[in-house]
Structure 1
Amino acid sequence: MNGAKRRLLIFEQLKEAKSVEVKQLAKQYEVSPMTIRRDLSLFAKQGLVSLNYGGAILNEGSGVEASFSLKAAQAQSAKAAIAKEAARLVNEGETILLDCGTTTYEMAKYLSDKAITVITNSWKILQVLQNTPKIKVILAPGTYSRISQGAISSDTIRFIGEHHVDHVFMSTQGLDLAWGASVPDEMDANVKQALMKAGSHCILLADQNKFDQRYFARYAKIDEFDLVISDRQLEEAEEQALKQMRTGYLQVIVHSA
């Protein structure tokens, strides 16, 4: 098992058990205690855990956010299904905005055959689209965020405010149907608000793990989205609430491998 896969599994254990022990993890994954301590130290640098002598404790504050690579490894099948469905909404000749996020990153992979213009503040999305001859890519400027792996600053907001597009595809860290979409970082929320204002239509991509979660900075209420695409099966009350808000909902079916 490679290190990235091991760290993902450890993080899943942390979310469930709230704490882990170095000796137990070393035995479970058949690696040295030093290797596990390095894994936990990486989580600590991101603010995800607090280290103690024998292991680590999960930090669960609303301002905590995992790295892009760690988030990308979670719910991969669901994100791919959501991304594929979202890409079908894009027509030839359109201009779209792609937010920083692991699901919008997946979506970029399904756009290569379309003659479109893509504006994004995500450097990861740029890497996907840089060699696609049909697509004109415009990278928004701004201060680089290691967590989001894209430009997130006041310069980004100013640049986005000077453009208008057909569709905006948004990501989120948390989604609460009563409260809205939220992220841990306030500047990230401000950038996302600018992105949403730049489009004729705004679509939110959110796997079911994002639901019933609230983070520090809310950037939109649910009725500000024209459509939500997710793998979550809504309860009847949730469906009725979305209908009253006139926000569309598209559930994708995720097939296990």
Structure 2
Amino acid sequence: MSSDVRTRRDRIEQLVRTAREIGYAELAAEFEVSEMTIRRDVEALETLGVLRRVMGGVIAVQGKDNEPSFATRMADAAQEKNHIADMVADLIGPKETLILDSGSTALAVAHSLRGRGLGLTVVTPSIMAALALVDEPDTSVVLTGGELRSGELSLIGPSAEDTLSHYNCDTYVMGVAGIDGERGISDYHQAESRVKRAASSRADRVIVAADKSKLGRVTFVSIAALSQIDAIVTDGPSDHPTLVAARGAGVEVICVVGQSVPAPAADTHTDREPT
């Protein structure tokens, strides 16, 4: 498969997940290709289980264990994730010992931490996050052991969990697939979720970084109740029912403000909701 075809199919998957339903003609116009080409792309994606063909177009597959590809998650709400990542990085103090999760949002946090001169010690199961920070001056990077997960480049399994058990850390930045007022924090993958639980138990503070698409979503594996985390950084609306429930559970909610209009000099990034 050529890189152009792969890129187009990743983008089709992203568009269908966002719109939930989209027609062949609309996709053909978007990518300036024939409907026959789009139909071949859709057939391949349906085989992977990421969407389903219907009359005249496609719909997203609704499954609690159907995890989008890493490339798709990187493309989804990329600008919003960068704003969230900047806010999370603002919350990290000099010389902290930080557990940095795997996943697209955590990787954005790793990039945002670069150049800040914080002198961190970073423990991570993410090879990409480790590579992003390995050359940062005065920063030490500890990569957990474990089995390398294909597609994610994250380390999972008992060795990863055991590595985390040896450290006492200040903050854990967690990426998640779902945050719900009743079901709490959840993710798609069982082994990834066990690593997240292990990391949560070794940090004094747990910050969940999640874009608004994760709010109100429940995925396959439960990780923690809302009361077991300390803060949520998101671009979702402050009155979202999930965020209201989180504040009721004692969680600090930080809603990132869009940056299309210049903000005041103080508190330029966020609206902070009282706990």
Q: Place the TM-score, normalised by the shorter chain, in its bin.
A: 0.7 to 0.9
| TM-score, normalising length: structure 1 | 0.87
- Out of 121, 141, 147, the position equivalent to 1:143 is 147
Kept after mapping to 1: 8 A contact 2:231/2:254: yes
| TM-score, normalising length: structure 2 | 0.82
| 1:84 match | 86
Residue 73 of structure 2 is aligned to residue 65 of structure 1: no
Residue 131 of structure 2 is aligned to residue 127 of structure 1: yes
| 1:117 match | 121
User: CA distance change for structure 1 residues 98 and 52 in 2, over 3 Å: closer, same or farther?
Assistant: same
- Aligned residue identity for 1:103: T
| 1:15 match | 17
Matches for 1:1-257 after TM superposition, within 5 Å:
6-7=8-9, 9-15=11-17, 18=20, 25-32=27-34, 36=38, 39-40=41-42, 43-44=45-46, 46-50=48-52, 57-112=59-114, 113-235=117-239, 241-256=245-260
For 1:69 and 1:236, how far apart are their aligned partners in 2? 27
Aligned length: 256
Cα deviation, 1:12-61, whole Å, max 9, x if unaligned, reads 44235545565653344212557545644664465313468986553211
User: CA distance change for structure 1 residues 122 and 37 in 2, over 3 Å: closer, same or farther?
Assistant: farther
For 1:229 and 1:87, how far apart are their aligned partners in 2? 11
Q: Which runs of 5+ in 1 are unaligned?
A: none
User: CA distance change for structure 1 residues 6 and 203 in 2, over 3 Å: closer, same or farther?
Assistant: same
1:236 Cα deviation from its structure 2 partner: 7.8
1:213 Cα deviation from its structure 2 partner: 0.5
For 2:249 and 2:220, how far apart are their aligned partners in 1? 23
1:182 Cα deviation from its structure 2 partner: 0.8
Cα deviation, 1:137-192, whole Å, max 9, x if unaligned, reads 11111111224321121221111112111100001011112211111111111111
For 2:190 and 2:106, how far apart are their aligned partners in 1? 20
For 1:104 and 1:28, how far apart are their aligned partners in 2? 30
Kept after mapping to 2: 8 A contact 1:153/1:187: yes
1:214 Cα deviation from its structure 2 partner: 0.6
For 1:255 and 1:7, how far apart are their aligned partners in 2? 30
- Aligned residue identity for 1:72: M
1:104 Cα deviation from its structure 2 partner: 1.2
User: CA distance change for structure 1 residues 154 and 51 in 2, over 3 Å: closer, same or farther?
Assistant: farther
- Aligned residue identity for 2:113: L
Kept after mapping to 2: 8 A contact 1:182/1:214: yes
For 1:199 and 1:161, how far apart are their aligned partners in 2? 10
* SS of 1:203 mapped into structure 2: strand
- Aligned residue identity for 2:148: Y
1:235 Cα deviation from its structure 2 partner: 1.8
Kept after mapping to 1: 8 A contact 2:178/2:214: yes
* SS of 2:131 mapped into structure 1: helix
Question: Quick one: percent identity of the two aligned structures?
Answer: 27
1:239 Cα deviation from its structure 2 partner: 5.7
